[in-house]
């Protein structure tokens, strides 16, 4: 299965293993939620060669604007850190999935946050520093899922 191979981080560029790059992605995701208010960030995890994101876009913000913004900001910063110029950092495609129920939302959130555990990188989801599970564990959130449509967006390196 492609996802299992990606999660192991055994192939492709593994730049996101670099803590500065992983931190860059996490800070960009949080900025889009808190400062720019483009979406509600439900779950995320930064793996060695890909990123999973579960978010609910703001009503007036098109998904393409969100993904282009996240990819653009993180690519610029990552390429600066890596000393690369004129080369793409992210692949063009992404894999989107509309979430239609609270049960599906919870299943996808768990899938995302358990990725590092399944890949053998952490014992518990909250032990992985580049994940919403860490934030959820340190500050218990009382938000509940409503029967709104949510978007699961997975960026692949």
pLDDT-above-90 percentage for the chain: 68
pLDDT digits 0-9 by tens, 70-96: 999 999 999 999 999 888 999 887 888
pLDDT the model gives residue 146: 33
Collapsing DSSP to helix, strand or coil, 51 comes out as strand
62-64-66-68 Cα dihedral, nearest 10 degrees: -150
Query: Which of 2-6, 20-24, 41-45, 125-129 bottoms out in mean pLDDT, i.e. has the lowest?
Result: 2-6
What are the backbone dihedrals phi and psi of residue 142, each rounded to the nearest 5 degrees, phi first? -95, 10
Please give the pLDDT value at position 96: 87
Quick check: pTM over 0.85? Answer: no
Rounded-to-integer distance, Cα 102 and Cα 37, Å: 22
Query: What's the pLDDT score for residue 3?
Result: 52
């Amino acid at each position: 299965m492609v996802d299992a191979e990606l999660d192991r981080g055994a192939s492709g560029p593994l730049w996101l293993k670099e803590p500065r790059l992983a931190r860059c992605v996490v800070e960009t995701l949080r900025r889009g939620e808190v400062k720019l208010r483009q979406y509600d960030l439900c779950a995320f995890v930064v793996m060695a060669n890909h990123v999973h994101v579960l978010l609910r876009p703001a009503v007036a913000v098109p998904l393409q604007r969100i993904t282009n913004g996240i990819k653009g900001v993180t690519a610029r910063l990552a390429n600066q850190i890596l000393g690369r110029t004129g080369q793409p950092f992210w692949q063009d495609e992404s894999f989107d999935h509309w979430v239609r129920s609270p049960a599906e939302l919870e299943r996808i959130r768990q899938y995302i946050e358990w990725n590092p555990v399944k890949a053998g990188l952490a014992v518990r989801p909250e032990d992985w520093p580049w994940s919403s599970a860490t934030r959820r564990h340190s500050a218990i959130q009382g938000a509940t899922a409503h029967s709104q449509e949510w978007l699961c967006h997975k960026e692949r390196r």
